[in-house]
């Protein structure tokens, strides 16, 4: 073995020893990174649910077209905002758009929950209903706020920091899979309960030629 090769081996051994000797906090932890990804993914899940809320309002037979139009526009706009915010969190940092989760998300959760309670408690008896789609959107909003509270108590990290000091791959993949399952388990029932879910083809019937039938809306003259 040449002198140069021996020097390279010693350099590698010394570097590896130094990395292994780092304290646990010197490398990116698994839990903070999983929570950061869950933070962003929840934005996508909530955006899908608000799109479903908008589609349900669009095809509803409400006697107040102005209210229906406002719900559709607000739902679509909020879904777009959630998508952009979730992308910013996943691409850059957990603290992207700080005022978004500090002000706008709590407001959206409160308004959505108030709408759910109004439909359940204050509508005429024959018209009361539980909006499962909106309720699932509230649940994902609470997940966003929970993730924000956890991440605020830790030093800010970005995707670049994680790339420099990656956490253990196996545990990270398990955590990311769990985060995805959590978001999907909340979003799927909400989507199924919406008008969009009414048009979904059951898994056992995929590949068959079926034309979805649009629900009939009442016309008020």
Q: Which residues pair with 158 in a beta bridge?
A: 93
Does any domain span residue 214? no
In whole angstroms, what is the distance from residue 95 CA to residue 114 CA?
Answer: 28
Does any domain span residue 171? yes
Q: Name the domain count of the chain.
A: 1
pLDDT digits (tens, 9 = 90+) for 106-148: 999 999 999 999 888 877 777 778 889 999 999 999 999 999 9
Is a pLDDT exceeding 90 seen at residue 167?
A: no
Does any domain span residue 47? yes
> Within 10 Å of residue 50's Cβ, how many Cβ atoms?
28
Does any domain span residue 155? yes
In whole angstroms, what is the distance from residue 51 CA to residue 196 CA?
Answer: 9
Task: Tell whether pTM > 0.85.
Answer: no
Angle at alpha carbon of residue 203, lines to 202 and 205, rounded to 5°: 70
Does any domain span residue 101? yes
pLDDT digits (tens, 9 = 90+) for 54-106: 988 888 766 677 888 898 999 999 999 999 999 999 887 666 788 899 999 99
Which domain does 56 fall in, by range?
30-196
């Amino acid at each position: 073995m040449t002198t140069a090769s021996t020097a390279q081996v010693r350099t590698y051994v010394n570097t590896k020893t130094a990395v292994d000797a780092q304290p646990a906090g010197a490398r990116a932890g698994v839990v903070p990174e999983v929570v950061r990804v869950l933070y962003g993914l929840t934005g996508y899940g909530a955006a899908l649910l608000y799109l479903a809320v908008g589609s349900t309002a669009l095809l509803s037979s409400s006697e107040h077209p102005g209210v229906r139009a406002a719900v559709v526009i607000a739902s679509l706009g909020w879904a777009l905002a959630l998508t952009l915010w979730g992308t910013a969190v996943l691409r850059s940092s957990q603290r992207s758009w700080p005022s978004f989760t500090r002000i706008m998300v709590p407001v959206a959760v409160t308004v959505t929950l108030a709408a759910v309670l109004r439909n359940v408690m204050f509508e005429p008896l024959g018209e009361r209903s539980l909006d499962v789609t909106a309720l699932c959107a509230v649940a994902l909003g609470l997940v966003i706020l929970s993730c924000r509270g956890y991440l605020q108590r830790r030093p800010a990290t970005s995707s670049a920091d994680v790339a420099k000091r990656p956490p253990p791959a196996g545990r990270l993949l398990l955590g990311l899979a769990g985060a995805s399952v959590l978001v999907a388990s909340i979003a799927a029932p909400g989507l199924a309960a919406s008008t969009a879910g009414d048009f979904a083809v059951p898994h056992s019937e995929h590949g068959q030629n079926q034309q979805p039938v649009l629900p009939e809306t009442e016309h008020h003259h």
